[in-house]
Structure 1
């Protein structure tokens, strides 16, 4: 058995058997995997961080490139906020178009600023967090290492089999294997963890533009019922522009992708002026992106990020949830992963947190992925948010995943939304302008 290949600096152990035994092996050195590795290692856990790609600058291409505000505390704990600010990451304020007008969340007069995180291209973010992980004591970043199977011992996973950059094979043993390897997780597949698939009746394409002005310099989203679109300003003056139409539009897009994409954008209310901007990427996307849900744990295994739950890209929550799930996992299992507690009990605690915090959001997203118009409750809340600053702030907290569906639809918030819409309905300005089918 050979000495582990690693990008970590410093001397390597002489005993190769010890070198191939870790507390935790993490498959996938993107956002979730790197965040989990850093947070576990800081808690005294020895981590092997595997990445199947050999290039340390590799990054995910198909992404919203947005980190929701719910993940800001994780970025802060990781120590990445100064580096992101220096790299030009854009604080992700936003406004949303609806049939009732624009929802434009603003801080309350005299109150604190709205919570935020960042829009930042993955070509900037992924290498940044990966290099941060590689410099963390206790983390060994193993590039070019692909998981080819799991090791079993006593009815539980006890490590992984991998291929190395030179074509060799290794076995890495650990108390815990973490699947941070995306929606098509090899770890979940080898473990036989079932996946629940929610079909997505929309498809999506995006492109990057330079010098694309947006009102107020903030992100925008269009709820066109059922079609969707968004534009997010990112680092280095680049804006990500995405369209997510109903699949009934797919034949036209397949016949003329560039023409259909640009026509869709030009038809948006207050459309971004793409004709005066420079497109600096290809138009990329996917025609089938289902929402996937797996149990986040199995004996000796934990899943984080998209491996456990893949959301609808129209909500831009994937990056934030990747960071949050890594944080929840590290907080729950670190002592046990280092041999100082009951690992199964710790994994159960992580699973409870994961299900409680994310499943309700996923259930709503799966329902909306059927590409339907707003339902009556959504009409109530979105109409109020377009008409009232307090309702807009409440909507912002939900969109940022700082409150869950129950918090968003609590009785007080629903009553306030109804009152806003009633006032609008009976106001002189509201009566003639009320769109047909609106809740008032």
Structure 2
């Protein structure tokens, strides 16, 4: 990169949003020699996202490891996210194979712990400038290409020029909207409320999810001895829920099979939630722009995949564009590779999630797999890999897996 080229850019990359995706991308890009401005509209370095499953699926463990966060998470009391799932055929309880390796895991950890941790790590990374109180209000464009952002700051308006602008600013991404990058919207026929409880014992001390067809619920143990408890009923139940939110929430939990003893636990937060949480998908690139995390794809919160995909998409982007962003390659070609990889890895998951968000009972394939997983440890382990997003739909529903599930269910029927 020549001195003249460098002078045209304040940074190599400007990232809007200093939450999980943005901080991870900033760290991983800077470690590869990229100069990064990390913009966060909030001024508090300890700010965090409250409405979240507070769970990181196992697919993101390698990213946490690369970021160097695993020891810090363990010290902070993050809980390895083992889980069991209730179905009408009984509980699915994935366990390691005899003499086999432990099941893959990541962590349940409250965002009030996680967000300041990763933001601090980003701020300490050489090559990253964390700019708090900076809100993107416009894009700087030249010849049909984005070459920077305009930001509202405590000192006034400011332009920051860069080869690449990254939108890590959530499902309502200002970067995406300013760039005219439309979102494909999928309606969600469920609503959700959650609250945090202390001293709420769970069977085996691990996470529980209830597939009630079509209603859902989950309870995830987190750091600090706090359990996140969420209910996700169909929207036809919303008017009655709103009449008495606390009473409806507790009644729903009490009615769960093998329900946790919520009445003897201490609720330590308000009951909060969202009555309309559609799924979104956007093409993750445009000239001079990349989207990561919820800005590129917002899944259904009932699956708890948002944190994991935020971290993974940040890693995918850094791997593909770092050299070009630093002036050592073709940025458009690198962005095209990132977009193809993002689509290949996540579009199948999103398709299935959007279909299930219609709040329907299980379809025949789901009945086949869930029933077999409740009856067979090998199928349960296979389902664990899919729920952890370590395999995609095509591997989850491959002919061998379907044949095994069919054989398991036929044996059960014969017995």
Runs of 4+ in 1 over 6 A off after TM superposition: none
The 1-side partners of 2:318 and 2:9 are apart by: 21
1:48 aligns with 2:45: no
Counterpart selection for 2:302 from 303, 308, 314:
314
The 2-side partners of 1:276 and 1:261 are apart by: 15
Residues 131-152 of structure 1 show CA distances to partners (whole Å, capped at 9, x for unaligned) of 0000000000000000000000
Counterpart selection for 1:280 from 248, 268, 289:
268
SS in 1 for 2:170: coil
Residues 94-173 of structure 1 mapped to structure 2, 5 A cutoff: 94-166=83-155, 168-173=156-161
The 1-side partners of 2:207 and 2:240 are apart by: 27
1:402 aligns with 2:390: yes
Task: Report if the CA contact (8 A) 2:56-2:304 is conserved.
Answer: yes
1:359 aligns with 2:347: yes
The 2-side partners of 1:165 and 1:144 are apart by: 6
Task: Report if the CA contact (8 A) 1:54-1:165 is conserved.
Answer: no
Residues 124-273 of structure 1 mapped to structure 2, 5 A cutoff: 124-166=113-155, 168-273=156-261
Give the match for residue 346 of structure 1.
Answer: 334
Task: Report if the CA contact (8 A) 1:177-1:302 is conserved.
Answer: yes
1:27 aligns with 2:35: no
Residues 143-192 of structure 1 show CA distances to partners (whole Å, capped at 9, x for unaligned) of 000000000012100000001124x0100000000000000000000000
Q: Which runs of 5+ in 1 are unaligned?
A: 1-16, 428-440
Residues 93-133 of structure 1 show CA distances to partners (whole Å, capped at 9, x for unaligned) of 00000000000000000000000000000000000000000
SS in 2 for 1:45: coil
SS in 2 for 1:97: strand
1:61 aligns with 2:61: no
Residues 268-297 of structure 1 show CA distances to partners (whole Å, capped at 9, x for unaligned) of 000010111100000000000000000000
* Pairwise CA distance, 1:18: 5.8
The 2-side partners of 1:359 and 1:230 are apart by: 25
The 2-side partners of 1:104 and 1:286 are apart by: 29
Task: Report if the CA contact (8 A) 1:176-1:301 is conserved.
Answer: yes
SS in 2 for 1:420: helix
The 1-side partners of 2:9 and 2:397 are apart by: 50
Task: Report if the CA contact (8 A) 1:93-1:219 is conserved.
Answer: yes
Aligned length: 410
Residues 349-388 of structure 1 mapped to structure 2, 5 A cutoff: 349-388=337-376
Q: Which runs of 5+ in 2 are unaligned?
A: 1-5
The 2-side partners of 1:125 and 1:53 are apart by: 16
SS in 2 for 1:421: helix
- TM superposition score normalised by structure 1: 0.93
- TM superposition score normalised by structure 2: 0.98
SS in 1 for 2:276: coil
* Pairwise CA distance, 1:41: 0.1
The 2-side partners of 1:33 and 1:117 are apart by: 20
1:74 aligns with 2:63: yes
Task: Report if the CA contact (8 A) 1:20-1:171 is conserved.
Answer: no
Give the match for residue 27 of structure 2.
Answer: 38
Give the match for residue 411 of structure 1.
Answer: 399
Task: Report if the CA contact (8 A) 2:293-2:311 is conserved.
Answer: yes
SS in 1 for 2:328: coil
The 1-side partners of 2:301 and 2:245 are apart by: 19
SS in 2 for 1:152: strand
SS in 1 for 2:100: coil
* Pairwise CA distance, 1:19: 11
* Pairwise CA distance, 1:89: 0.3
The 1-side partners of 2:260 and 2:30 are apart by: 44
Cα distance change on mapping 1:19 and 1:151 into 2, 3 Å: closer
The 2-side partners of 1:96 and 1:140 are apart by: 43
RMSD of equivalent CA atoms? 0.9
